[in-house]
């Protein structure tokens, strides 16, 4: 009925307000090479999709050779699966794999056009990486982070260590990919206080080349995805904790009532309850709003080591 009403009013769907197009790419620079820092699940996924969809050479950096080997082995597995399911030709798979170059040396990012950092959510670690990138990467390179919760403005400030490059903070932005990267289409683009419009346009254009859909967010606690998702999960945990509904009832009503692929408690298990708690703590601390206070049950489950799928036990057993 809602769609019919829109059509009868002469609309095909919601439109952006005039002057507020969030995916303009008028000032985008060309990206011919990419560097990815971190060979874990997120970093590897970003590197593989960039090689496969954007068809750019990717330098994959990790300080652990074992992590690089494990990541590339996983890339081979994903490519073989796509070939076996005829989603990708053998030639295309080989071409994508050939664009991935592993390295343990940050100095190998000295000639890339775009860098995406995908390391754990540790402020000091990210600031150290960006401080080094400001001195290693070319002066035109976009310096992006995959952070899901840390202020982009704070990360950008770490690049002021090079007095010869006063524009480094303007080239810092967040490209927050959704997990798993080869499957999920969404990418949050978050600009810091210092981020230039050219950096913004270039980031949007590049993730679109990767076959992704860009959504622009302000540099605010939780950004868009987690600002909406985590309170939803937290409220589901509160409903369980206070006896409003049982585990299966909570998940089933959301799946069958709102057509989401998995219920909030199952999703929390897949994300990791420790990650959910950490993000809720950030939202609560940085906004000071009691509506973001983490559920007591969520805290206790993390204290017990029941972190979800990765620990074998969460709201469900794995």
- In SS3 terms, 90-123 reads as HHHHHHHHHCEEEECCHHHHCCCCEEEECCCCCH
Q: Which of 149, 176, 217, 234 is catalytic?
A: 176
Q: Which of 146, 148, 234, 295 is catalytic?
A: 148
How far is 72 from 306, CA to CA, in rounded Å?
30
- Please give the pLDDT value at position 25: 72
Residue numbering of the annotated binding site for NAD(+): 38-43, 62, 121, 126, 148, 179, 310
Mean pLDDT (whole number) for 256-266: 97
Active site residue 188: yes
Instruction: Give the pLDDT confidence of 205-227 residue by residue, as tens digits.
Output: 999 999 999 999 999 999 999 99
Helices (H), the chain: 2-8, 41-49, 65-84, 90-98, 123-136, 152-157, 197-209, 225-241, 247-258, 264-271, 273-287, 296-303
Confidence of residue 23 (pLDDT cuts 50, 70, 90): low
**Beta bridge partner(s), residue 58:** 34, 100
- Please give the pLDDT value at position 22: 52
Residue % of the chain over a pLDDT of 70: 92
- Please give the pLDDT value at position 163: 72
Residue numbering of the annotated binding site: 38-43, 62, 121, 126, 148, 179, 310
Q: Which of 188, 217, 234, 295 is catalytic?
A: 188
Instruction: Give the pLDDT confidence of 155-187 residue by residue, as tens digits.
Output: 999 999 767 777 999 999 999 999 899 999 999
**Beta bridge partner(s), residue 115:** 35, 143
Q: Is the pLDDT of residue 12 over 50?
A: no
- Please give the pLDDT value at position 19: 35
Confidence of residue 314 (pLDDT cuts 50, 70, 90): very high
Q: Which of 151, 226, 234, 295 is catalytic?
A: 226
């Amino acid at each position: 009925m809602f769609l019919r009403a829109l059509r009868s009013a002469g609309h095909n769907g919601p439109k952006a307000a005039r002057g507020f197009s969030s995916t303009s790419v008028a000032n985008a620079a060309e990206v011919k090479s990419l560097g990815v820092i971190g060979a874990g699940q997120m970093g590897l996924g970003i590197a593989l999709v960039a090689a496969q969809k954007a068809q750019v050479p990717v330098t994959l950096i990790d300080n652990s050779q074992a992590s690089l080997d494990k990541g590339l082995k996983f890339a081979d597995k994903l490519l073989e699966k796509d070939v076996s399911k005829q989603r990708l030709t053998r030639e295309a798979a080989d071409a994508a794999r050939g664009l991935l170059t592993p390295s343990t040396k940050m100095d190998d990012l000295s000639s890339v056009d775009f860098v995406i950092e995908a390391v754990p959510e540790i402020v000091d670690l990210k600031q150290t990486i960006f401080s080094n990138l400001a001195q290693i990467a070319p002066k035109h390179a976009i310096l992006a982070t995959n952070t899901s919760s840390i202020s982009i403005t704070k990360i950008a400030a770490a690049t002021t260590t090079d007095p010869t490059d006063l524009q480094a903070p303007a080239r810092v932005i967040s490209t927050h990919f959704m997990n798993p990267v080869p499957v999920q289409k969404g990418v949050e683009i978050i600009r810091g206080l210092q981020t230039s419009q050219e950096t913004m346009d270039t980031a949007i254009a590049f993730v679109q080349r990767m076959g992704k859909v860009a959504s622009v967010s302000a540099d605010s606690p939780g950004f868009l995805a987690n600002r909406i998702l985590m309170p939803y999960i937290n409220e589901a945990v509160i409903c369980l904790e206070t006896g409003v509904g049982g585990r299966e009832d909570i998940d089933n009503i959301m799946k069958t009532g709102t057509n989401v692929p998995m219920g909030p408690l199952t999703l929390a298990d897949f994300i990791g309850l420790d990650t959910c708690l950490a993000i809720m703590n950030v939202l609560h601390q940085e906004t000071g709003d009691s509506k973001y206070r983490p559920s007591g049950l969520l805290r206790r489950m993390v204290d017990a080591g029941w972190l979800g799928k990765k620990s074998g036990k969460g709201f469900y057993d794995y």
